[in-house]
Amino acid sequence: MRKFSSLSNSLGTGVFARLTVKKQEVEAKGVRVIDLFVGTPDFPCEQHILDAGINAMRDPENIKYSLLDSPEMTGAVINYYKERYGVQLTADMIASCNGTQDGMGHIGMILADPEDVVLLPDPGYIAFETSALFGRARPYYYRLTAENNFLPDFDAIPDEVYRRTAYLVLSYPSNPVGAVAPPEVYKRAIELAKRYGFAVINDNAYSDIIFEGEGGSFLSYEGATEVGAEFFSLSKSFNTTGSRISFLIGDPEIVAAFRKLRSQYDFGMFMPVQAMAVAALTGDRKGVKARCEEYRRRRDALCGGLRTVGWNVPDSQGTMFVWARVPEGHGTSEQFAEELIERAGVICTPGSEFGPSGEGYVRFALVKPVEVLEAAVKAIAESGILD
Ligand SMILES: Cc1ncc(COP(=O)(O)O)c(C=O)c1O
């Protein structure tokens, strides 16, 4: 029999395949299924970003290995961070990657050793756990609970865990819980990182989808660039999910180590994709703001609608997700998600997919227009599942 590594054997195939089978069964019965499962924006990528990619594709030079981040792209990131977040960067603080998922998947390899601990939010985006596993380090999950507004309780992490920590992952507005963190969270993280000598890796994926005030950057906090770096993905702000555009930005030493690792397995970001990144970062941001407003309308339609029909779902503070407690008496989050497909034709993600503390919750992605979300609320109410 073929031998596979313990790492390979530890990877699961995930719930996606199982729920897709269930979806097909329900659709075969003629039921219209509303899919709120995957967090891919339904908005099109804006024309000026597409045009930049198309124009760059016309030049055969741009189809060669890219090897380096273009000065235009690095300059665009520098200007963007200055204007948008008030953060002054230099070129040695920026490295591109093919999406945050790719970057996260590799960051553990440069920051951790097998005896080290990685502090991860639970529940949290699945790639955070991957970062620890691929780094062959030990994940330590810090719990995010409703009672603590889904914020880290740094005092609950034992001193000996901090001592063994290689890096802490932070990410707000948070997928899947939709919470936003106040400045104290970042300040405390920086203080702990300095005290114990670990790094902070922030995932800045949703700073443009926030419903109170303006989203920011971890790097704007004093001392942040001495202790850490953040992934800055264009996927959700600019609807460029498939083009895989993200950056690791912050401490030049971390960035240099990341670049060195990356040079071993990749030749860099495809030049037409770099041109798209420049167009996104230097272009008009009206569309970004308009989409945030649309996400707010969607959040109101789903959370408000579900509350009206008897399911007490709180409003998300940010992101394109809604985090809902499984109603009493419906089993595990996966059992409830299956029941929701069967009885209401609505697909959501079981909270257990995001870590042990996700059990008891499901996640809805706001990836359909308001009228479809209203139809989902109606279908859930009429199914009798909440009675
Ligand atoms: C917290 C978080 N980070 C990163 C990503 C993905 O970023 P990218 O498309 O750059 O891999 C997602 C996507 O769902 C996410 O929820």
Ligand 1 mean position, distance from CA 321 (Å): 12
Q: Per residue in 101-147, pLDDT tens?
A: 999 999 999 999 999 999 999 999 999 999 999 999 999 999 999 99
Q: Is 230 in the pocket of ligand 1 (CB under 6 A)?
A: no
| Integer Cα distance of 238 and 313 in angstroms | 28
Ligand 1 mean position, distance from CA 267 (Å): 22
Q: Per residue in 143-185, pLDDT tens?
A: 999 999 999 999 999 999 999 999 999 999 999 999 999 999 9
Q: What mean pLDDT is predicted for residues 295-314?
A: 97
Continuous H helices in 178-285 = 183-196, 224-227, 235-238, 252-265, 271-282
Nearest CA to ligand 1 atom 3: 205
Q: Is 101 in the pocket of ligand 1 (CB under 6 A)?
A: yes
CA-to-CA dists, residue 39 to 51, 159, 161, 307, angstroms: 25, 36, 33, 22
3-state secondary structure of 268: coil
Tally the C-alpha atoms within 13 A of residue 333's C-alpha that lie toward its C-beta: 21
| Integer Cα distance of 341 and 344 in angstroms | 6
Residue 382 has pLDDT above 90, yes or no: yes
Residue 14 has pLDDT above 70, yes or no: no
Q: Per residue in 235-244, pLDDT tens?
A: 999 999 999 9
| Integer Cα distance of 45 and 362 in angstroms | 28
Q: Is 323 in the pocket of ligand 1 (CB under 6 A)?
A: no
- Confirm if 205 and 235 have CB atoms less than 8 A apart: yes
Q: Is 215 in the pocket of ligand 1 (CB under 6 A)?
A: no
Classify residue 5 by burial, with Cβ atoms within 10 Å: 0-12, 13-18, 19+: exposed
Q: What mean pLDDT is predicted for residues 36-61?
A: 95
Residue 44 has pLDDT above 90, yes or no: yes
pLDDT of residue 171: 96
Ligand 1 mean position, distance from CA 370 (Å): 23
Rg of the chain (C-alpha set): 21
* CATH no., domain 47-282: 3.40.640.10
pLDDT of residue 73: 98
**Which amino acid, 156?**
A
3-state secondary structure of 113: coil
- Which tokens in the block code for residue 356? 């042990």
Ligand 1 mean position, distance from CA 380 (Å): 28
Ligand 1 mean position, distance from CA 131 (Å): 13
pTM of the model: 0.95
Nearest CA to ligand 1 atom 7: 100
Secondary structure (DSSP) of 126-169: HHHHHHHHHTTPEEEEEE--GGGTT---GGGS-HHHHHHEEEEE
| Integer Cα distance of 142 and 355 in angstroms | 10
Q: Per residue in 74-108, pLDDT tens?
A: 999 999 999 999 999 999 999 999 999 999 999 99
Nearest C-alpha neighbor of 321 from the set 277, 375, 289, 358: 358
Q: Is 98 in the pocket of ligand 1 (CB under 6 A)?
A: no
pLDDT of residue 245: 98
Q: Is 125 in the pocket of ligand 1 (CB under 6 A)?
A: yes
pLDDT above 70: percentage of residues in the chain: 99
Contacts of 221 (CB under 8 A, 6+ apart): 183, 186, 187, 190
Domain boundaries, the chain: 6-44+286-383, 47-282
Residue 233 CA: nearest ligand 1 atom is 10
Residue 279's pLDDT band (boundaries 50, 70, 90)? very high
Nearest CA to ligand 1 atom 12: 205
Ligand 1 mean position, distance from CA 27 (Å): 29
Q: Under CATH, what is the fold of the domain 6-44+286-383?
A: Aspartate Aminotransferase, domain 1 (3.90.1150)
pLDDT of residue 12: 75
pLDDT of residue 10: 85
